[in-house]
Chain A
């Protein structure tokens, strides 16, 4: 079953702009993770935020988590053409050992 749902489904921005995408989920979670997938390739882990954390940073990435609203956001600042990819949120539920539930993803295109 699909736990996370990303919004928007697609995003087109210019280099230097910020990109924001959101993820909503349905059940209680242990942690939430964001992954990136370049076209036709495997996924790469970007960042993890635990259920007791509200915000986390990693380089140009900023993730927030609001467990009361069951939602998360990923912000990419000062985007680059190399950020063009699909971005997926994935959750681990408190009652679903080790299994990541992925959303359908947000496709981001950054034009030079």
Chain B
């Protein structure tokens, strides 16, 4: 059974803190993605990676960075958390080439106070 796991389901951080969100997939997928989901806006792509140490900006990369040191792990970093980054964060992975299907993790609900 394919699996994408995220390090936390719920996270509460203070403004200005550095926040790490971890995502691990066990499907040997080349591509990994980070989205944020806000009511009425659907999912918006923050960053994606198509190979180890490779990364590409998505639609809303400002305020975020990513790291992919190993194929199975993709980290999202909030260098200095702000209240407008309170959101649901979803990680996904897919096999290489044209995307036919993405597999999603359960999500991390981050609250920045």
Contact = CB atoms under 8 A, between A and B. Distances in A.
Is chain B a partner of chain A in the same complex?
A: yes
Interface of A: 1-2, 4, 30-31, 33, 35, 40-45, 48, 88, 90, 92, 98-100, 102-105
B106 A2 contact: no
B101 A41 contact: no
A104 B41 contact: yes
Contacts of B59: 1
Contact of B109 (A30, A33, A40, A100): A40
Interface stretch (B11-19, B43-51, B65-73, B78-86): B43-51
Given A98-B50, A98-B94, A102-B42, A44 B104 contact: yes
A2 B107 contact: no
Contacts of B92: 42-43
Contacts of A2: 41-42, 44
Nearest to B91: A42
- Chain B, interface size category, equals 20 to 34
Given A2-B42, A92-B99, A100-B99, A43 B31 contact: no
A4, A35, A90, A98: residue with the most chain B Cβ atoms closer than 10 Å: A98
Closest 6 CB pairs of A and B: A42-B104, A102-B43, A104-B42, A102-B42, A43-B104, A98-B99
Contacts of A43: 43, 90, 92, 102, 104
| Chief secondary structure at chain A's binding surface | strand
Given A30-B98, A42-B4, A42-B90, A99 B42 contact: no
B61 interface: no
B102 A100 contact: yes
Given A40-B107, A99-B45, A92 B40 contact: no
A48 B100 CA distance: 7
